[in-house]
A = this chain, B = another copy of it.
Amino acid sequence: MNAGTHTHRTRVRYAETDQMGVVHHASYLLYLEDGRTRLMEERGLPYTQIERSGLGLPVRRVELRFREAALYGDELCVLTRVSRLRAASVAFDYEIRRADDDTLLATAWLELACVDLSAPGRPVAPLPDAVRECLESAEPPSARVSED
């Protein structure tokens, strides 16, 4: 992962481990959430600002593949990249690596829908221009698609 990739570093918490002695698989979703919110924040668009405008970006699809176990105390690099930007959704590609030795621990792909939090039933809504521009700046040129 290179052009447009954002790197977020985080440390594994004790509470994130389970009795198998490794990080529980559900904890990775929290690392991914950190990854994309930090990417957006770094590009000038904190997620709180999106919610304040009445929109939300709930997760619609997740694909996760675990390769090596993360351990308590590990420093992780969460590499996040916009993989696809559509009219009313955005998808991210991820790699999670151990910072020490760059071992690839997990890969992931997530799709978020843009929804109108203030309308009944929270219908899908087009990504506003400000969000689109923020995400485009993090997207490789070939990933631009206009339909959802």
A positions within 8 Å CB-CB of B: 11, 13-15, 17-22, 24-27, 29-30, 33-34, 37, 46-48, 51, 56, 58-66, 69, 72-73, 117, 122
Q: How far is the CA of A24 from the CA of B29 in the complex (A)?
A: 10
CB contact between A33 and one of B15, B30, B122 (< 8 Å): that residue: B15
The complex is assembled from copies of this chain, and their number is: 4
- Chain B residues in 8 Å Cβ range of A19: 14, 17-22, 51, 72
Contacts known (A48-B73, A73-B48); A59 close to B25, Cβ less than 8 A: yes
CB contacts (< 8 Å) of A18 on chain B: these are: 14-15, 17-19
Q: 11 A-B pairs, CB-CB below 8 angstroms?
A: A14-B24, A14-B37, A15-B30, A17-B19, A19-B19, A20-B51, A20-B58, A26-B27, A48-B72, A58-B66, A61-B63
Contacts of A20 in B (CB 8 A): 19, 51, 56, 58, 117
Among candidates B24, B59, B73, residue contacting A46 with C-beta atoms closer than 8 Å: B73
Task: Judge whether B62 and A22 touch: CB under 8 Å.
Answer: no
Q: In the docked arrangement, what's the CA distance between A5 and B30, Å? A: 29
Contacts of A13 in B (CB 8 A): 30, 33-34
